[in-house]
Amino acid sequence: MSDTDTPAILVIGGAGYIGSHTTLALAAAGYRTVVYDNFSTGHRDVCFGDALVEGDLHDRKKLAQTMRDHDIQAVVHFAALIEAGESVVDPLPFFENNVAGTLKLLGAMQDAGVGRLVFSSTAACYGNQSTGDLLDENLPRDPVNPYGHSKAMVEVVLETLAAAHGLNAIALRYFNASGADPEGRTGERHDPETHLIPLVIDAARGKRANIKIFGTDYDTDDGTCIRDYIHVNDLASGHVAAIDYLLKHNEVGFQAMNLGTGRGNSVREVIDAVRKMAGKDFPVVEEARREGDPAILVADAGRANEILGWQARYSNIDGIVRDAWNFAVKTDQ
């Protein structure tokens, strides 16, 4: 290692929502960070790395060169297409980017001799297996859309490489990423936005006519879907904990871990939290169910708690809504 022995971490997709928060958290934990992004969906004004390399996930040579140039000790990989609904309509780009692109990255890691990876995975790996119990990592992968398949396929590749070549890889399965940096340095800026919390905030701020509830006849207390909303800063600290762990342990192999809170909120509870923050009412329209939505998705976060010593600290719905609200107002989205 160089640079006074401060480990350098390559953050692929560091200009995105979770990537930008994680870069801030890695820096706060004392790591050097190199952001690598092609800016297809990311934003230049939230690149917080010590260095920035503009490049594509498919550019194996550039990736390997970047790892050598910066003496990279571990990689965190966020760069992915994420819209599950869009993946059903047009699946090929999801496999091209999320699977084929990640294979290039893994090749580059081999070329440069980098053997530690934290991979952005998803609760979508579980598909519709929720019975209302907390979802734990012992359940088989059973995605129900191409987005979830693309992530589950990469998990299989990582597992295989871990067995064959000793790759050390942790796949973090995020539940519902939400909120924003409490200091307002970065936040959620998807285009188009499809996620519940920013859409409800837009409705409350008069930026859209209403919020639609997709389904009020689910088998839940208030009839709407329940999700495990996890503050993006908790996701960021989960990545720091995974990097710490990979740098301390030599034979990690492949491990999948949930990042969630173990508690869920219904769509109506989210709307109520935004109503409270806004201090006013706004139109809510009850619609039919959206295809592919499981009724309840809540994580058992025991494995990440136990192995990484990680705990969600920011993830209560009022705090999530407050930080998301403040970011939306600040950037006037």
Active site residues per annotation: 147
In the complex, what is the shortest distance from the CB of residue 330 to ligand UFG, in angstroms, rounded to a whole number?
Answer: 21
In the complex, what is the shortest distance from the CB of residue 140 to ligand UFG, in angstroms, rounded to a whole number?
Answer: 17
311's CB contacts (< 8 A; 6+ apart) are 305
Helix 60-69, helix 102-112: angle, nearest 10: 40
In the complex, what is the shortest distance from the CB of residue 27 to ligand UFG, in angstroms, rounded to a whole number?
Answer: 26
Closest CA to 135 of 238, 230, 228, 219: 228
In the complex, what is the shortest distance from the CB of residue 114 to ligand UFG, in angstroms, rounded to a whole number?
Answer: 27
Upstream peptide bond of 182 is cis (omega within 30 degrees of 0): no
Location of structure tokens 């200009």: 15
Give whichever of 71 and 269 is closer to ligand UFG, judged by the CB atom.
269
For 77, how many CA atoms within 13 A lie in the half-sphere containing its CB? 32
Residues that bind ligand UFG (CB under 6 A): 82, 84, 122-124, 175-176, 194-196, 199, 212-214, 225, 227, 267, 290, 293, 297
In the complex, what is the shortest distance from the CB of residue 62 to ligand UFG, in angstroms, rounded to a whole number?
Answer: 27
Query: What sign has the CA pseudo-torsion 189, 226, 260, 115?
Result: negative
In the complex, what is the shortest distance from the CB of residue 153 to ligand UFG, in angstroms, rounded to a whole number?
Answer: 15
Residue of minimal CB distance from ligand UFG?
225
Element (H, E) at 211: strand 211-214
Query: What sign has the CA pseudo-torsion 183, 265, 188, 16?
Result: positive
Give whichever of 62 and 289 is closer to ligand UFG, judged by the CB atom.
289
Q: Tokens for 269, please give them.
A: 């509870």
Give whichever of 122 and 255 is closer to ligand UFG, judged by the CB atom.
122
Give whichever of 118 and 196 is closer to ligand UFG, judged by the CB atom.
196
**Do residues 295 and 226 touch, judged by C-beta distance below 8 A?**
yes
Give whichever of 171 and 196 is closer to ligand UFG, judged by the CB atom.
196
- For 308-323, the DSSP string reads I-----S--HHHHHHH
**Do residues 228 and 221 touch, judged by C-beta distance below 8 A?**
no
Determine the straight-line distance between the first and last CA of the chain, rounded to whole angstroms: 42
Give whichever of 153 and 199 is closer to ligand UFG, judged by the CB atom.
199
